[in-house]
Amino acid sequence: MKPWIACWNILLKDMRTYYLKPPNLSWGIIFPFAWTLMFFVRSETAVDVRSLLPGIMALSILFGTTSMLAVTVTFEKKGRSFDRLLLAPIPLELLMLAKTSGAVFFGTLNAFVPIVMAAFMTDLSGVAWWQLLPAVVLIAVSSAFLGLFIAVSVSEVFEAQTFSNFFRFPMVFLCGLFFPVKALPFALQPFAYAIPLTYGADLLHEAVNGMGSLPVAISFAALLVFCGVLFLISLRNVRKRWIV
């Protein structure tokens, strides 16, 4: 069997089994929709939609991607259906990329729910789409690999959910989504620059409003490094905990 055919079939199986189920589809739309309404319609006064849009997009990607992947991989491992995939005649790296690709696709779609809603409320001309689109994909990839890291570090589904929140909620407050990283206490700023969402949020702020605080090249490079590190750590944990 050619590796790309195996990867494609794993992706199709995950889409049919998990991501395209009506509850997950509705949840995938309602979750970013709820985030959007919560911030866009938070008061009777005028709201600067463009200033809030990057944060809502990032949250939609982060929570949607990590929640789906951490739970599904943990569930398959507990049900031992993941063990059959480990016997497939394809490299482990391709197998894990196939397992995460559905979550990446799901998270990327989540990001466009706020964009569609914002388009009815404000003028989105001037948005640097050439920068926004790859930033969305890289945030989805890094979030998926974070979810993979969580999934291979726990044994139970409830542990995956709890462990996910251990990472996600500090990231929301530290990554500069709604206030600049430089406004944080000095002791917390190193932690802010040690999480991938800081660089993703900065890219989105730059693409939508031209207000990024970091050079674009550095943010893209940092996201790529985080993606590689999280993926390699997850592979190491799979080999150590699930194979050997």
To the nearest 10°, the Cα dihedral for 147, 71, 173, 139? 40
Per-residue pLDDT tens digits for 125-156: 888 999 999 999 999 999 988 888 888 877 77
Position 103 pLDDT exceeds 90: no
Average pLDDT over the chain reads 80
Least confident stretch, 50-64, 72-86, 146-160, 208-222: 72-86
Q: Measured between alpha carbons, how far is 50 from 124 in angstroms, rounded to an integer?
A: 8
Q: Which residue has the tokens 């919560």?
A: 38
Q: Can you give the pLDDT at residue 47?
A: 63
**Residue 44 belongs to what domain range?**
3-243
Structural domains counted in the chain: 1
Q: Which two tokens stand for residue 87?
A: 């016997």
Q: Is the pLDDT of residue 23 over 60?
A: no
**pLDDT for residue 169:** 83
- 2 vs 194, which has greater pLDDT? 194
Of the two residues 64 and 128, the one the predictor is more confident about is: 128
Backbone angles phi, psi at 213, to 5 degrees: -105, -5
